[in-house]
């Protein structure tokens, strides 16, 4: 995101790079938690920054529902309550795209649970 602040591309130019409207780019610049994983990955590729973190988190997020399927139901429900997200919602985000705000919320929740 720091590269985005230093970026000389205006909203119109960035919208072409990302395939978003210039209004969506402007909105995401003011509210960074609206970015989605695929958009962050596209930005990283554009600025020639490694996309390894995006790829790793995407893999983890896509593998998790399968792991939930092997858990006892009580344990799975406990995880759903802790993360405040149902397996079906999780799968929906995996099929559409994860907004960064939800990833930050998951991160905070998991950090609190491990503290």
For the chain (length 115 residues), average pLDDT per consecutive 10?
74 91 92 91 89 89 87 87 85 92 86 73
pLDDT of residue 78: 86
CA 83 to chain centre: 15
pTM: 0.78
pLDDT of residue 9: 82
Distances (CA, A) of 109 to 12, 13, 18, 51, 84: 36, 36, 30, 24, 9
∠105-114-112 over CA atoms, to 5°? 40
Structure tokens given for 13? 């130019």
Residue written as tokens 């896509």? 62
Secondary element (H or E) of residue 56: helix 52-70
Structure tokens given for 105? 């919320």
Structure tokens given for 22? 């210039």
pLDDT of residue 66: 86
């Amino acid at each position: 995101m720091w590269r985005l602040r230093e970026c000389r591309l205006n909203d119109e130019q960035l919208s072409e790079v990302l395939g978003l409207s210039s209004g969506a780019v402007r909105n995401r610049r003011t509210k960074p938690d609206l970015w989605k994983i695929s958009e962050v990955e596209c930005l990283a590729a554009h600025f020639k920054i490694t996309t390894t973190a995006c790829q790793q988190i995407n893999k983890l997020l896509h593998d998790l529902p399968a792991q939930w399927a092997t858990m006892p139901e009580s344990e799975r429900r406990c995880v759903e309550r802790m993360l405040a997200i149902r397996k079906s919602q999780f799968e929906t985000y995996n099929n559409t795209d994860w907004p960064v705000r939800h990833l930050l919320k998951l991160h905070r929740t998991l950090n609190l649970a491990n503290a």
